[in-house]
Amino acid sequence: MNISINQTTALPVLYSLRNCPYAMRARIAIFKSKQAVLLRDLVLSNKPDEMLIASPKGTVPVVVLADGRVIEESLDVMLWALNSKDPDDLMHNQAEQNTSSAMLALIDEFDSQFKTCLEQYKCAKRYQETNITQCREACEFYIQQLEERLTQHSFLMSNRESLADIALLPFIRQFARVERQWYLQSPYPNVRQWLNNYLQSPMFSKVMAKYPLWLDNHEDVIFGAL
């Protein structure tokens, strides 16, 4: 993509980590919004000073806007991107108001509750703990909710994709990878189909593309589309 110096200096800067689920969903929202950012990929063991100055908490994603404002929570990055430009109406602004409220409530439930269960499940697998079945069953309480939703329609909120789908996607992907063989035979065919549709999509391939680490050469990568 040809782009002028003036254009690049006006673009927001996104500090990201390729496999972090929070950074992943931020990139998906930016990609879906069809706008461009300067992507600076990093590893958490070597954080750029520029990022730490902008956001001392030191976690990704972080977006630094051209006017100096900083967005440092993944859901806030998603909302910023889609409130700026939302060609597919992922925010469901054309739907009833209670749809948007329900969507944000579902995201909050998974961010605050499912994520805790998921971390315990991952740790149980990693350290071969004896309570892995109980940890998985705690996660399944939430997976069952998604299965029921996907029995009723193609996406989590309706037959149209929404913010909720792309916000939960990276964490359901993690769940599916903990005990892969169990997951493939689990009683959640609609969740599997929903997840597979994303993982096999061109969008996901582009969002998960591997870029050089920014600290290696300080060369910004244009992510998204102008």
Instruction: Find all residues with CB under 8 Å of 12, minimum gap 6, and list them.
Output: 37, 38, 63, 64, 65, 66
Question: How many domains does one find in the chain?
Answer: 2
What CA–CA distance (Å, rounded) separates 30 from 72? 14
Q: How many CA atoms lie within 13 A of 215 on its CB side?
A: 13
Same domain, yes or no: 55 and 144: no
Q: Print pLDDT tens along the chain (226 aa).
A: 434 444 566 899 999 999 999 999 999 999 999 999 999 999 989 999 999 999 999 999 999 999 999 999 999 999 999 999 999 999 998 766 667 889 999 999 999 999 999 999 999 999 999 999 999 999 999 999 999 999 999 999 999 999 999 999 999 999 999 999 999 999 999 999 999 999 999 999 999 999 999 999 999 899 997 5
Distance in angstroms (rounded) separating the CA atoms of residues 114 and 108 = 9
**The domain containing residue 31 runs over which residues?**
5-90+204-224
CATH number at residue 15: 3.40.30.10
Same domain, 133 and 146: yes
Amino acid at 202: P
In a shared domain, residues 118 and 147? yes
Give, to the nearest 10 degrees, the angle between helix 115-126 and helix 163-178. Answer: 20
Q: Are residues 195 and 209 in the same domain?
A: no
